[in-house]
Amino acid sequence: MPIPESAFRTHPELRALIRDPEKSFFRDFDVEEVDRRMAERGVPMPWRWPDAEREANRHAFFAGHEGPVWVFAYGSLMWDPAILFDDVRPALLEGYSRAMCLVDRRGARGDAQAPGLMAGLAEGGSCHGIVFRVPEALVEDETERLWRREMIAQAYRPVLAPAMTPEGPVMAVAFAADREADNIDIGLSRALQVQYIATGRGFLGTSLEYLENTLAQFDRMGIDDPDLSALLADARRAAAEAGVSPAAGVAGGGSAGR
Protein backbone atom coordinates (compact mmCIF):
# COMPACT_ATOMS: atom_id res chain seq x y z
CA MET A 1 0.00 0.00 0.00
CA PRO A 2 1.76 3.18 -1.14
CA ILE A 3 1.67 6.36 0.91
CA PRO A 4 -1.02 8.63 -0.61
CA GLU A 5 0.16 11.89 -2.14
CA SER A 6 -2.33 13.64 0.12
CA ALA A 7 -0.11 12.71 3.08
CA PHE A 8 2.30 15.40 1.88
CA ARG A 9 -0.34 18.00 1.08
CA THR A 10 0.91 20.54 3.63
CA HIS A 11 4.62 19.71 3.40
CA PRO A 12 5.43 18.43 -0.12
CA GLU A 13 9.12 19.09 0.52
CA LEU A 14 9.19 15.98 2.73
CA ARG A 15 8.06 13.64 -0.06
CA ALA A 16 11.53 12.98 -1.47
CA LEU A 17 13.12 12.67 1.98
CA ILE A 18 11.09 9.79 3.40
CA ARG A 19 11.68 6.17 2.39
CA ASP A 20 8.76 4.13 1.12
CA PRO A 21 7.67 2.09 4.18
CA GLU A 22 7.10 -0.98 2.02
CA LYS A 23 10.82 -0.97 1.13
CA SER A 24 12.06 -0.60 4.70
CA PHE A 25 14.07 -3.33 6.42
CA PHE A 26 12.14 -2.57 9.60
CA ARG A 27 8.64 -3.05 8.22
CA ASP A 28 8.55 -6.84 8.38
CA PHE A 29 11.91 -7.83 9.80
CA ASP A 30 12.13 -11.31 11.30
CA VAL A 31 12.73 -11.18 15.06
CA GLU A 32 14.00 -14.77 15.02
CA GLU A 33 16.59 -13.81 12.41
CA VAL A 34 17.77 -11.05 14.74
CA ASP A 35 17.95 -13.65 17.53
CA ARG A 36 20.21 -15.73 15.29
CA ARG A 37 22.49 -12.78 14.56
CA MET A 38 22.67 -11.95 18.24
CA ALA A 39 23.60 -15.55 19.08
CA GLU A 40 26.36 -15.46 16.47
CA ARG A 41 27.79 -12.42 18.27
CA GLY A 42 27.65 -14.14 21.65
CA VAL A 43 24.57 -12.32 22.99
CA PRO A 44 22.50 -14.89 24.91
CA MET A 45 18.75 -15.01 25.25
CA PRO A 46 16.79 -13.39 26.69
CA TRP A 47 18.27 -10.24 25.18
CA ARG A 48 14.84 -8.90 24.19
CA TRP A 49 11.30 -8.69 25.50
CA PRO A 50 9.18 -11.80 24.83
CA ASP A 51 6.66 -11.09 22.08
CA ALA A 52 3.71 -11.48 24.45
CA GLU A 53 5.20 -9.02 26.95
CA ARG A 54 5.92 -6.45 24.26
CA GLU A 55 2.37 -6.77 22.94
CA ALA A 56 0.94 -6.44 26.45
CA ASN A 57 2.87 -3.18 26.83
CA ARG A 58 1.43 -1.88 23.56
CA HIS A 59 -2.13 -2.82 24.40
CA ALA A 60 -1.85 -1.24 27.85
CA PHE A 61 -0.46 1.97 26.36
CA PHE A 62 -3.34 2.30 23.89
CA ALA A 63 -6.08 1.10 26.24
CA GLY A 64 -9.17 3.19 25.61
CA HIS A 65 -7.63 5.04 22.68
CA GLU A 66 -9.81 5.88 19.71
CA GLY A 67 -8.97 7.67 16.49
CA PRO A 68 -5.68 8.14 14.63
CA VAL A 69 -2.27 8.08 16.30
CA TRP A 70 0.49 10.64 15.87
CA VAL A 71 4.06 9.28 16.13
CA PHE A 72 7.03 11.55 16.84
CA ALA A 73 10.32 10.70 15.10
CA TYR A 74 13.67 12.19 16.11
CA GLY A 75 16.19 9.82 14.51
CA SER A 76 16.01 7.26 11.72
CA LEU A 77 12.22 7.07 12.04
CA MET A 78 12.14 10.48 10.35
CA TRP A 79 13.40 9.22 7.00
CA ASP A 80 12.72 5.50 7.44
CA PRO A 81 9.44 5.25 9.39
CA ALA A 82 8.47 1.76 8.12
CA ILE A 83 4.84 2.52 9.03
CA LEU A 84 1.99 3.70 6.84
CA PHE A 85 0.68 7.22 7.44
CA ASP A 86 -1.72 9.75 5.96
CA ASP A 87 -0.13 12.99 7.19
CA VAL A 88 3.39 14.14 8.02
CA ARG A 89 4.62 17.42 9.49
CA PRO A 90 7.74 18.98 11.00
CA ALA A 91 7.32 19.12 14.78
CA LEU A 92 8.86 20.35 18.01
CA LEU A 93 8.37 17.91 20.89
CA GLU A 94 8.09 19.55 24.30
CA GLY A 95 9.57 18.07 27.45
CA TYR A 96 12.27 15.89 25.86
CA SER A 97 15.58 16.49 24.10
CA ARG A 98 17.75 14.37 21.80
CA ALA A 99 20.71 12.73 23.57
CA MET A 100 23.37 10.19 22.61
CA CYS A 101 22.58 7.84 25.47
CA LEU A 102 21.82 4.36 24.08
CA VAL A 103 24.95 2.27 24.65
CA ASP A 104 24.95 -0.75 22.34
CA ARG A 105 26.84 -3.80 23.61
CA ARG A 106 24.52 -6.32 21.95
CA GLY A 107 25.76 -6.37 18.38
CA ALA A 108 23.71 -3.89 16.33
CA ARG A 109 26.27 -1.05 16.24
CA GLY A 110 28.65 -2.16 18.97
CA ASP A 111 29.54 -5.08 21.23
CA ALA A 112 30.89 -5.79 24.70
CA GLN A 113 34.50 -5.15 23.64
CA ALA A 114 33.77 -1.96 21.67
CA PRO A 115 30.36 -0.52 22.60
CA GLY A 116 28.44 1.59 20.13
CA LEU A 117 26.25 4.62 20.76
CA MET A 118 22.90 5.77 19.39
CA ALA A 119 20.29 8.40 20.20
CA GLY A 120 17.47 8.53 22.72
CA LEU A 121 15.15 11.14 24.20
CA ALA A 122 16.15 12.49 27.59
CA GLU A 123 13.71 14.31 29.85
CA GLY A 124 13.80 18.09 29.71
CA GLY A 125 14.07 20.65 26.93
CA SER A 126 12.62 20.15 23.46
CA CYS A 127 13.45 18.29 20.27
CA HIS A 128 12.95 19.03 16.58
CA GLY A 129 11.70 16.13 14.48
CA ILE A 130 8.73 14.93 12.43
CA VAL A 131 5.29 13.58 13.30
CA PHE A 132 3.44 10.96 11.27
CA ARG A 133 -0.29 10.37 11.58
CA VAL A 134 -1.43 6.75 11.41
CA PRO A 135 -5.10 6.58 10.38
CA GLU A 136 -7.47 4.88 12.80
CA ALA A 137 -8.07 1.90 10.50
CA LEU A 138 -4.34 1.09 10.47
CA VAL A 139 -3.46 1.78 14.11
CA GLU A 140 -3.49 -1.87 15.22
CA ASP A 141 -1.21 -3.19 12.47
CA GLU A 142 1.13 -0.21 12.27
CA THR A 143 1.68 0.19 16.01
CA GLU A 144 2.50 -3.54 16.21
CA ARG A 145 5.27 -2.92 13.68
CA LEU A 146 6.38 0.20 15.54
CA TRP A 147 6.58 -1.61 18.90
CA ARG A 148 8.45 -4.54 17.34
CA ARG A 149 11.10 -2.07 16.17
CA GLU A 150 11.29 0.42 19.04
CA MET A 151 10.40 -1.81 21.98
CA ILE A 152 12.18 -5.00 20.93
CA ALA A 153 14.43 -4.81 24.00
CA GLN A 154 14.60 -2.70 27.13
CA ALA A 155 15.94 0.75 26.22
CA TYR A 156 12.94 2.97 25.60
CA ARG A 157 9.57 3.63 27.16
CA PRO A 158 6.57 4.93 25.23
CA VAL A 159 5.27 8.34 26.27
CA LEU A 160 2.55 10.68 25.05
CA ALA A 161 3.81 14.24 24.73
CA PRO A 162 2.73 17.52 23.11
CA ALA A 163 4.29 18.39 19.77
CA MET A 164 3.89 21.71 17.99
CA THR A 165 3.53 21.62 14.20
CA PRO A 166 3.04 24.46 11.69
CA GLU A 167 -0.62 23.40 11.52
CA GLY A 168 -1.10 23.37 15.28
CA PRO A 169 -0.39 21.17 18.32
CA VAL A 170 -0.84 17.40 18.44
CA MET A 171 -0.32 14.77 21.11
CA ALA A 172 2.23 12.27 19.84
CA VAL A 173 3.63 8.91 20.86
CA ALA A 174 7.39 9.13 21.40
CA PHE A 175 10.00 6.68 22.65
CA ALA A 176 11.97 8.15 25.55
CA ALA A 177 15.07 6.70 27.16
CA ASP A 178 14.26 4.26 29.96
CA ARG A 179 16.61 5.23 32.79
CA GLU A 180 16.13 1.80 34.37
CA ALA A 181 17.59 0.03 31.32
CA ASP A 182 21.20 -1.10 31.67
CA ASN A 183 22.01 0.17 28.17
CA ILE A 184 20.83 3.74 28.81
CA ASP A 185 23.42 6.17 30.19
CA ILE A 186 22.12 9.75 30.25
CA GLY A 187 25.28 10.97 32.00
CA LEU A 188 27.81 9.33 29.66
CA SER A 189 30.98 11.44 29.51
CA ARG A 190 31.95 13.25 26.32
CA ALA A 191 35.15 11.19 26.11
CA LEU A 192 33.21 7.91 26.17
CA GLN A 193 30.66 9.24 23.68
CA VAL A 194 33.49 9.99 21.26
CA GLN A 195 35.15 6.61 21.88
CA TYR A 196 31.97 4.58 21.42
CA ILE A 197 30.99 6.39 18.22
CA ALA A 198 34.52 6.11 16.80
CA THR A 199 34.93 2.37 17.41
CA GLY A 200 31.49 0.74 17.77
CA ARG A 201 30.30 -1.56 14.98
CA GLY A 202 27.83 -4.42 14.52
CA PHE A 203 25.48 -6.13 12.11
CA LEU A 204 23.61 -2.88 11.31
CA GLY A 205 26.84 -0.98 10.64
CA THR A 206 29.11 1.33 12.62
CA SER A 207 28.13 3.92 15.20
CA LEU A 208 30.12 6.49 13.23
CA GLU A 209 28.10 5.67 10.11
CA TYR A 210 24.89 5.98 12.16
CA LEU A 211 25.79 9.50 13.32
CA GLU A 212 27.00 10.54 9.85
CA ASN A 213 23.74 9.34 8.30
CA THR A 214 21.70 11.02 11.02
CA LEU A 215 23.33 14.42 10.51
CA ALA A 216 23.17 14.13 6.71
CA GLN A 217 19.43 13.56 6.98
CA PHE A 218 19.09 16.42 9.46
CA ASP A 219 20.76 18.70 6.92
CA ARG A 220 18.32 17.62 4.20
CA MET A 221 15.40 18.22 6.53
CA GLY A 222 16.61 21.60 7.74
CA ILE A 223 17.33 20.48 11.32
CA ASP A 224 20.37 22.11 12.94
CA ASP A 225 22.06 20.29 15.84
CA PRO A 226 25.45 21.91 16.50
CA ASP A 227 26.19 19.66 19.48
CA LEU A 228 25.82 16.49 17.39
CA SER A 229 27.87 18.07 14.58
CA ALA A 230 30.71 18.79 17.00
CA LEU A 231 30.45 15.26 18.41
CA LEU A 232 30.74 13.81 14.90
CA ALA A 233 33.85 15.88 14.18
CA ASP A 234 35.47 14.65 17.41
CA ALA A 235 34.53 11.03 16.66
CA ARG A 236 35.95 11.22 13.14
CA ARG A 237 39.25 12.49 14.52
CA ALA A 238 39.32 9.74 17.13
CA ALA A 239 38.57 7.06 14.53
CA ALA A 240 41.34 8.35 12.26
CA GLU A 241 43.84 8.49 15.12
CA ALA A 242 42.93 4.93 16.14
CA GLY A 243 43.20 3.68 12.56
CA VAL A 244 39.60 2.49 12.59
CA SER A 245 38.32 1.41 9.17
CA PRO A 246 35.25 3.34 7.97
CA ALA A 247 33.72 0.12 6.62
CA ALA A 248 30.19 -0.70 7.70
CA GLY A 249 29.11 -3.69 9.75
CA VAL A 250 28.74 -7.29 8.72
CA ALA A 251 25.22 -6.86 7.37
CA GLY A 252 23.13 -3.91 6.35
CA GLY A 253 19.54 -3.13 7.13
CA GLY A 254 19.19 0.56 7.81
CA SER A 255 19.72 2.76 10.79
CA ALA A 256 18.55 1.90 14.25
CA GLY A 257 17.65 4.66 16.64
CA ARG A 258 14.52 6.73 16.60
- For the segment 40-61, the average pLDDT, to the nearest whole number, is 85
Phi/psi for 35 (5° steps) reads -55, -45
Predicted TM-score of the model (pTM): 0.87
Taking only the tens place, the pLDDT of each residue in 51-74 is 899 999 999 999 999 999 999 999
Any idea where the domains of the chain sit in the sequence? 5-185
pLDDT of 75 over the 70 cut: yes
Give 52-121 as a DSSP string. Answer: HHHHHHHHHHTTT--S-EEEEESSTTTT---S--SEEEEEEEEEEEEEEEEEEEESSS-EEEEEEEEEEE
Residue (of 129, 133, 150) closest to 84 by Cα position: 133
Q: At what angle do helices 190-199 and 226-242 cross, to 10 degrees?
A: 60
Exposure of 232 in the CB half-sphere (CA atoms within 13 A): 17
Residue 93, CA distances (Å) to 55, 104, 131, 161, 169 in order: 25, 25, 9, 7, 10
Domain spanning 5-185: which CATH class is it, in words? alpha beta
Taking only the tens place, the pLDDT of each residue in 127-162 is 999 999 999 999 999 999 999 999 988 889 999 999
| pLDDT for the residue 66 | 95
